[in-house]
Amino acid sequence: MSQEGQLVDKKSLRVLTGRNPDWDALAKDCVAFANAQGGRLLIGIEDNADTPAPDQRIDPALADILRRKISERTVNVASLPDIRRADNGGEFLELGIPRAMSVASTTDGRYFLRVSDESKPVLGDDVMRLAAERTALPWETLTSLNVPRTRLDEQRKAVLVAAVRASDRVKDSVKEKTEEELLDHYLLAQGEWLTHLGVLCIGKREDRANLGTAPVIQFIKYDELGQKVNKLTWDDFNLNPMELIEAIWQEIPDFRERYELPDGLYRQNVPAYDEIVVRELLVNALVHRPYTQRGDIFLNLYPDRLEVVNPGLLPLGVTPGNILHTTVRRNDHMARLFHDLKLMEREGSGFDKIYEVLLSQGRPAPELIETHDRVQVTVRRRILKPEVIDFIAKADQTYPLTQRERIVIGLLAQHDALTARELTVALELPAVEALQPWLSRLLDWRIVQSSGRTQATRYFVDPGLLRNLNFASGTTLKRIEPHRLAALILEDLGRYPQSAIGEIRQRIGGEIHPKQVKRALDGLIDKGEVRFEGDRRWRRYRLAQ
């Protein structure tokens, strides 16, 4: 069963069958889904459960009542209730909410938006932003230029099709489609016309220029006095977004400068700007920008920092204070194409990756600023603590660290200590209690130590451990809890898709009993989070797309 998130929410059946059904709360959630990407309400499944009670039955009349009550309390919301039967025999009510063609609201004039796993109110000026962003059709799927699908760049189409068929993120059923069917599948074409997304990615140069908002990128280098010393521009619309990323990385030599750091008798080279970070910043700038708004993307390189400036605001619901944990895609179809082409991380994890890489290199976390007309991300060149690089590398070799744990270690290794409150703020978490999944294993392994209690608890990395890298030789994974084992498996499959069970076990901890790993994989398959191909010794596992 699907977990709660951007597209799914679970509700107890009591919200409908209790003495006082909370129709207004359901209407709020329906409006929030309609104003976002659409979604599903699974009524009859508790928040902490994956399936309904085996003996639960739904009154057929309840679906009609629900449809009527929602329609009475909302505007521009379509509700599609359907009674479903789970694998255990229990019934639940699935309420489908399509994306609204215009702004949705409650009948008393309130607006909501689905952000991650919450339905948040939209207030004040944000209502006008919501109306501006909620055009009847997404910009990507429009065909207003009337460019025939036959008038495309055949070479670019061939490159894109080959990349899709070579990607391990694409299902076999999609790879088997013809070239024309793939264009339709990724909404690069509709009927006889190329969509705006199709013109942008595989169209001819002159048609890309006619879009009006095709990306233009300027690179400007400044010296210590703030004077411009170099400028490069990509403003001729000759390259599609995928080619722009590669061209910028190859044509700006400053990105490939490296430091030499002492490493015992040897020296190690560390990039001034990591390739993963630069590419993720470019992808974010191209995929998440508002293509209904003109404006160039600026790469401002100073002696001590790189600033990436994108026109427009963050998607509604995303702020500099919640970007690590909030997923709102402005250009859904472009994001899906970039993900399948392996140009970006899976949904919601791109900024996490930037945090992880920068902190693991002893650099400060990225700085995000939103003004009235632009978003600016700053990454620093300076390495604050060179010893952090070896420390995290050795810790990663000794223990099966997750991305979250590498971020925490990087933050703490750069500071003498952080209180629970300071660490909560740095990780953009809602409360101190939310630190548990980030810290629990690190405390068990004594990579991180603590002193004090409650919000005054101080977390720190032992300076001796940071200096000597004297990690314990063994781990305690034999008694690992099921939910932690599942998290390790998901992290591992994210890095190494199409893996055999033996390969997974070897990477996450050879001391774990094979039956434990098999039970955890079977549970993840039942939840729909992992899929497999083949049978017996040829079975291979991967994350569900």
Per domain, the residue ranges of the chain are 8-135, 140-210, 218-380, 387-466, 479-543
Answer yes or no: is pLDDT of 453 > 90: no
**pLDDT at 135 (0 to 100):** 61
Each residue of 459-471: pLDDT tens digit? 998 777 777 776 6
Percent of the chain, pLDDT > 90?
Answer: 42
Each residue of 311-359: pLDDT tens digit? 988 877 777 877 877 766 778 899 999 999 988 875 555 688 899 899 9
> pLDDT confidence of 545, banded at 50, 70, 90?
low
**pLDDT at 472 (0 to 100):** 56
CB of 462 within 8 A of CB of 450? no
Each residue of 83-115: pLDDT tens digit? 999 888 999 999 999 988 889 999 999 999 988
The answer regarding whether domain 8-135 maps to CATH 3.30.950.30 reads: yes
Each residue of 360-417: pLDDT tens digit? 888 999 999 988 888 999 999 988 888 888 888 888 888 888 888 999 999 998 887 8
| CA–CA gap between residue 316 and residue 538 (Å, rounded) | 45
CB of 353 within 8 A of CB of 345? yes
**pLDDT at 209 (0 to 100):** 94
Each residue of 514-531: pLDDT tens digit? 888 888 898 898 888 898
CATH code that applies to domain 218-380: 3.30.565.60
Which of 61-70, 87-96, 245-254, 323-332 comes out lowest in average pLDDT? 323-332
Rg (CA), the chain: 25
| CA–CA gap between residue 170 and residue 18 (Å, rounded) | 44
The answer regarding whether domain 387-466 maps to CATH 1.10.340.30 reads: no
**pLDDT at 474 (0 to 100):** 46
**pLDDT at 73 (0 to 100):** 93
Which residue is it, tokens 């065909």? 143
Answer yes or no: is pLDDT of 2 > 60: no
**pLDDT at 3 (0 to 100):** 58
On the question of a common fold for 387-466 and 479-543, the answer reads yes
**pLDDT at 495 (0 to 100):** 79
Percent of the chain, pLDDT > 70?
Answer: 92
CB of 377 within 8 A of CB of 368? yes
Answer yes or no: is pLDDT of 175 > 60: yes
**pLDDT at 1 (0 to 100):** 45
Residues 6 or more apart from 501 whose CB is under 8 A from it? 514, 517, 518, 521, 539, 541
Read off the pLDDT of each residue in 290-319 and give the average, rounded to a whole number: 89
Of 191, 169, 190, 165, the closest CA to residue 179 belongs to: 165
Residues 6 or more apart from 265 whose CB is under 8 A from it? none
- Count the Cβ atoms, other than its own, within 10 Å of residue 123: 9
CB of 79 within 8 A of CB of 73? no
**pLDDT at 475 (0 to 100):** 46
Task: Label each residue of 399-422 as H, E or C.
Answer: CCCCHHHHHHHHHHHCCCCEEHHH
Read off the pLDDT of each residue in 232-251 and give the average, rounded to a whole number: 95
**pLDDT at 83 (0 to 100):** 92
Average pLDDT in the chain: 86
State which fold the 479-543 domain adopts.
Arc Repressor Mutant, subunit A (1.10.10)
Q: Angle at the Cα of 256 (from 251 to 261), degrees rounded to 5?
A: 170
| CA–CA gap between residue 265 and residue 207 (Å, rounded) | 57
CB of 270 within 8 A of CB of 361? yes
